[in-house]
A and B are shown apart, each in its own frame.
Chain A
């Protein structure tokens, strides 16, 4: 917007304030600003708007920032884990060759690659490659003791029951790794909350475990039924929340048997 033909536009004044003018124009604009009070005042007004915005932006958001100490420690642990994993895995020949700096080996690399492909694709009587799926119906207590988020009965019962959140891929991977099933087919498992958020369970790796779909009897659907049952009992006042959390986290199958009064899952 030009206030006068001889004046700088607001756009140029902003670019000047941000140091984003093309080099050739920078000197001209600086000269004009030195001469022109109108443009200098306008530039000051733009700077003032920036100042207003930054104060409001920082004022609102800085107060919401949690302490970085926890996330920092988590990051360090995850990086150490990734480094250890990488050290434990033999170097990938593809990476080795791709990163190899000697072009004389390119032909040999190509030959080996073709050979490897032929070996891989050779007719075979072996069964096709399968992933090793470990049936997990029960969380390992040392890894998944269950963690509650510190909410009370009213919060659980008088608000919409929270749905299980999407567990981030990186966290899912850590859960698989903790359970020693990183080589398994991840789609064979659901990373599940031990204490469901509907009973106050926390988004914490100590509250997550890989429940395999291959568990025919005590599977995720059975546990879902238990979670609904406990939620109803707590909200009806027939069971206190702490007991529900403790029972489901210590032995969910025993809890199912107890609260449904059965030895086998009900259909």
Chain B
């Protein structure tokens, strides 16, 4: 093995990176928030068509950003909405980057418009087991405009209209209309 040059302080950097220091209260707080929210965040990202691996990376970035945010003593007001907003922005940014740079395009199906809430069951038996109502709901969801899908998913993760409006940059009225419109489509599909 050889290198152009021995890299200085490599051992020191490695040691510091793997140190077994006791977590600080702030680290513990961020990890506790991760425990509470990571599945909600990841589910939201997946529902918009983000692949699992990208979703996991975005979630990591979100909580690292949260840690820095809190380290700097910035606002602790409604961290739940803050976390979702950062995740949303990162996923949109990543989506735009993939469109801009086709050579780095992720696997087909990563594009939110085409893949949201898609049936990923790998084998036909699973698909057969799904009932017709479920399939209808899937097709209705897929046919919704992207913003309506995001609204529904965020509401399903327990966010309030105000929080959804903040994350998606919509008014309260627009959030209510979007949810109402989507649910009306589901109702029509089920002939309610």
Contacts and interface: CB of A to CB of B under 8 A. Distances in A.
Interface of A: 1, 10-11, 14-15, 18, 20, 45-46, 48-50, 52-62, 64-66, 68, 71-72, 74-86, 88, 95, 99, 134-138, 140-143, 162-166, 168-171, 174, 177-182, 203, 215, 218, 250-251, 253
Interface of B: 1-5, 7-10, 12-14, 16-19, 21, 23-24, 26-27, 30-31, 34-35, 38-39, 42-43, 46-47, 52-53, 56-57, 59-61, 63-64, 67-68, 71-73, 94, 97, 101, 103-107, 117, 119-120, 133-134, 137-138, 141, 152-153, 155-156, 160-161, 172, 176-177, 179-180, 182-184, 186-187, 190, 192
B111 to A, nearest CB: 15
B1 A52 contact: no
B183 A75 contact: no
Given A56-B137, A66-B52, A138-B3, A79 B61 contact: no
Given A56-B137, A72-B34, A84 B21 contact: yes
A60 B16 contact: no
8 contacts: A11-B177, A48-B190, A52-B133, A56-B138, A68-B34, A77-B17, A86-B71, A134-B8
Contacts of B184: 1, 10
Contacts, number: 196
B13 A134 contact: no
Contacts of B152: 53, 57
B8 A170 contact: no
A55 to B, nearest CB: 8
B29 to A, nearest CB: 10
A138 B4 contact: yes
Contact of B43 (A55, A62, A80, A137): A62
User: Which of B27, B133, B179, B183: most chain A Cβ within 10 A?
Assistant: B183
B14 A143 contact: yes
Nearest to A162: B107
